[in-house]
Amino acid sequence: MVNPMNPGRIYLSPPHMSGEEVELVCETFASNWIAPLGPNVDAFEQEFAARVGARHAAALSSGTAALHLALRWLNLQPGDEVICSTLTFSASVNPVLYERATPVFVDSDVCSWNMDPAVLAEAIEAGIQRGKKPKAVILVHLYGQSADIDPIAATCRRHEIPLVEDAAEALGTEYYGSGGQGAGDREPETGDRRRARRGIAPGSLGLCGVHSFNGNKIITTSGGGMLVSDDLKLIEKARFWATQARDAAPHYQHSEVGFNYRLSNVLAAIGRGQLRVLDQRVEARRRNFEYYQKALGDLPGLVFMPEARYGRCTRWLTCLTIDPKIAGLDREKVRLALAEENIESRPVWKPMHLQPLFKDCRYHGGEVASRVFADGLCLPSGSNLSAADLDRVAGAVRRVYSDR
Ligand SMILES: *Cc1c(COP(=O)(O)O)cnc(C)c1O
C-alpha cells in the first residue's frame, strides 16, 4: 500500500521486464553459456536484424561502442570532419572524438526536432568550399521520432558521404518517407492491420545504424547495443574489432587494435525477451503521450513535441516546451516542482554546440535546438507507468500552473 504522504518515486524511463526475460536467462544459466558470445547473442542478432529490416547485426556492449565501430569502419583521419545533429545526447558525438576527428553541428527542424535537411545540405556545401568535405554524417533520431531520412540520404548520396544513423532512441519508430502518407492523414491503426503496414525502421536506411539497450531505452538489457547494416563485411569487421581483433591463428596474434565490445550471452537473453514485447512497449508509451496531451494540452504556452507527418513516433519520452512569456512560468519551475513531489523529469538535451566540450566546433543553423532546450521538458514516460502515476504527474504540473 502506497503511503499517500510519501508516494513512491516516479522515474523518467525505468526498465520494464515482461517475465519472459528471466526464463531465457535461467535457460542460459542452465546451459552455462555465461560468456560474451553464445547462442543467445547469435539469435538476438538475427531476431533484431529481422525486426528492423537490416540484413546483418552485431550485438555489442553499448550503443556508444556500436557507433565507435561504425566510425572506425570509415577510417577517419585526425582532423577529418563529421557532421552531427546538435540536439542529442553526447554519446552520439563522443566516438567522433575517440577517432580524433572533428564534429560539425547542424540545427534541428521545427517539425521533428531532428536534423534539418536543408541546413545539412548547406553545411556540406560550406565544408566543400573550405576544402573540407565531411567524411560522414551522423543522423540522430531523437525521442522516438524519425528524422526525415529521404532528403538527408539523397544529399549524402549526391556527395558520396556515408550516412550513419543513431537510432538509439528510435527502436520501434516508423518512417514512411517524405513523399509518403503522413500519419496525420490517417486514422490511428492498431493490431494486425498496423503490423502489416509497418514503415521503415530508422537505422536501416543509411550505411549502418546504431541501437541501444541502456536501462532507460524503450527495451533494455541493462546495457547493450546493436550495430545493423546490409553490408556483411562491415558487420564482420565490427565483430572482429569487438573481440580484441584476434587474427585467424591458434595462438593470440594481432595486426590491429582491438576492443572488448561484445554483448554478454546473458544480456542477449534479456534482449530476446524484450524484443518480443517491443510493440506493446511502443503502444504503452504512445498511450502515456495521449494521456498527457488530454490532461495538459489546454495549459497556456505548453506545446508537445510535434509528430512529423512522415513517420510514427514511439513517444519514447513525452517531451514538451513551455513558453514562459505565454505561460508565466518556465520549465525549470515545473521540473523543480515535480522533483519536490518525487517525480523525475528532465530538460530536453542541451545542444552539442552549446557544450563546453564542443565550444570550438563549427555550427550551422539558427535557434531551433537552443530554443527547444531552453523551454523543453521530458515527462515520466515509462511503459510501466500506472494510471495513478500519470494522474500524479499531470496533477503536479497543473498545480504549478494554478499556483503561479
Ligand atoms: C542512449 C543513447 C546513445 C548511447 O547508447 P548507450 O547504449 O548508452 O551507449 C547514443 N545516442 C543517443 C541519442 C542515445 O540516446
Check pocket membership of 134 for ligand 1, CB cut-off 6 A: no
Question: What is the 215 CA–ligand 1 centroid distance (Å)?
Answer: 10
State the pTM of this model: 0.94
pLDDT of residue 4: 58
Check pocket membership of 212 for ligand 1, CB cut-off 6 A: yes
Question: What is the 27 CA–ligand 1 centroid distance (Å)?
Answer: 29
Distance CA 36, CA 243 (A): 9
Mutation to probe ligand 1, out of 166, 173, 211, 349 (largest number of atoms < 8 A from CB): 166
pLDDT of residue 36: 80
pLDDT tens sequence for the chain (404 residues): 455 556 799 999 999 999 999 999 999 999 999 888 899 999 999 999 999 999 999 999 999 999 999 999 999 999 999 999 999 999 999 999 999 999 999 999 999 999 999 999 999 999 999 999 999 999 999 999 999 999 999 999 999 999 999 999 999 999 998 764 444 444 455 555 555 557 999 999 999 999 999 999 999 999 999 999 999 999 999 999 999 999 999 999 999 999 999 999 999 999 999 999 999 999 999 999 999 999 999 999 999 999 999 999 999 999 999 999 999 999 999 999 999 999 999 999 999 999 999 999 999 999 999 999 999 999 999 999 999 999 999 999 999 999 98
Question: What is the 284 CA–ligand 1 centroid distance (Å)?
Answer: 21
Check pocket membership of 203 for ligand 1, CB cut-off 6 A: no
Check pocket membership of 64 for ligand 1, CB cut-off 6 A: yes
CATH code linked to domain 20-403: 3.40.640.10
Question: What is the 38 CA–ligand 1 centroid distance (Å)?
Answer: 24
Cβ(226)–Cβ(165) under 8 Å? no
Q: Return the domain boundaries, the chain.
A: 20-403
Check pocket membership of 225 for ligand 1, CB cut-off 6 A: yes
pLDDT of residue 293: 98
Question: Which burial class, exposed, middle or buried, applies to 182 when counting CB atoms under 10 A from its CB (0-12, 13-18, 19+)?
Answer: middle
Task: Give CA separation, 121 vs 76, 118, 127, 154, 298, in Å.
Answer: 21, 5, 10, 10, 38
Distance CA 124, CA 133 (A): 7
Check pocket membership of 89 for ligand 1, CB cut-off 6 A: yes
pLDDT of residue 368: 98
With CA atoms as reference, report the closest residue to 114 among 173, 179, 51: 173
